[in-house]
Amino acid sequence: MTHAPTWRVLVVEDDENVRVAVTAELGGHGLVVDTAGDLAAADAALATAGHHCVVFDRMLPDGDATEYVFRRRRSGWTVPVLFLTARDTLADRVAGFEHGGDDYLVKPFAMAELTARVLVLCRRSGTGRPSVLRHTDLEVDCARRRVRRAGVELSLSDKEFAVLEYLMIRQGKAVSRTELIEHCWDSSTDPMSNVVDVVVRRLRRKLGSPDVVLTVFGVGYRLAA
């Protein structure tokens, strides 16, 4: 399996079978995936979470996604966009790019190709982030998805890596459980569940002593000073 840094992708597709298959494929490569079935739901999702890439089915129940992206581009929106469509003429592809698309994939498509294209767009979106994050004797290599403490490489699950990576990005700040859920899990996760505490407990055990992830009572977690 090819792993990626913790990037968040929105898949806007009205065909449930395609939406479920794409979500499973991208999620299997370490991406956090939100979904929407139409442009109205996409609008709501984009307003509540930071995405590194959006995959739009071009023809949706409430309109053509190219017109939607064109309007957002005019207001300064810069998130990379990949259009999925059965419309495969040269004119259709050109229209997709002219309306603000960054990539265009014709249905039917190979999941491996879709994943490769989405990862390229996510990398483009996240170029401002350091590829290696460091804190005391802890090193997180986001590009290679490797974690070392005092020079010893550790084996973390996808969620353990995502939580640690986000805490490293927010060094010096307390991060709430809700914020961790928003950035490291998909939108179906119940914010009142204890999934964050469970993952942090496993993460602490793997990181060893002294504790590097501290509890901020009434708030959430932060890295030790």
- Counting Cα atoms < 13 Å in the Cβ hemisphere of 213 gives 25
Residue 224 three-state SS:
coil
Edge to edge, what strands does the sheet with 220-223 contain? 175-176, 220-223, 213-216
Q: What is the pLDDT of residue 190?
A: 63
Q: What is the pLDDT of residue 66?
A: 92
Quick count: other Cβ atoms within 10 Å of Cβ 204? Answer: 17
For 8-125, CATH number? 3.40.50.2300
> For 184-197, what is each residue's pLDDT tens digit?
876 666 656 788 99
Residue 105 three-state SS:
strand
Delimit the domains of the chain by residue range.
8-125, 132-223
Report the chain's terminal Cα–Cα distance, integer Å.
35
Q: What is the pLDDT of residue 130?
A: 57
Q: Are strands 132-135 and 138-141 parallel, antiparallel or unpaired?
A: antiparallel
Q: What is the pLDDT of residue 2?
A: 43
Q: What is the pLDDT of residue 1?
A: 42
Which residue bears the tokens 């739009």? 56
Q: What is the pLDDT of residue 127?
A: 47
Tokens of 25: 């494929």
Average pLDDT over the chain, rounded to an integer? 85
Query: Domain 132-223 is of which CATH architecture?
Result: Orthogonal Bundle (1.10)
- DSSP letter, residue 147: E
Which residues in the chain show pLDDT less than 70?
1-5, 49, 126-131, 143, 186-192
Beta bridge partners, 93, equal: none
Cα gap 161→177, rounded to integer Å = 15
Query: Which stretches within 28-172 are classed as H helix?
Result: 39-48, 65-74, 90-98, 111-125, 158-169
> For 48-64, what is each residue's pLDDT tens digit?
767 889 999 999 999 99
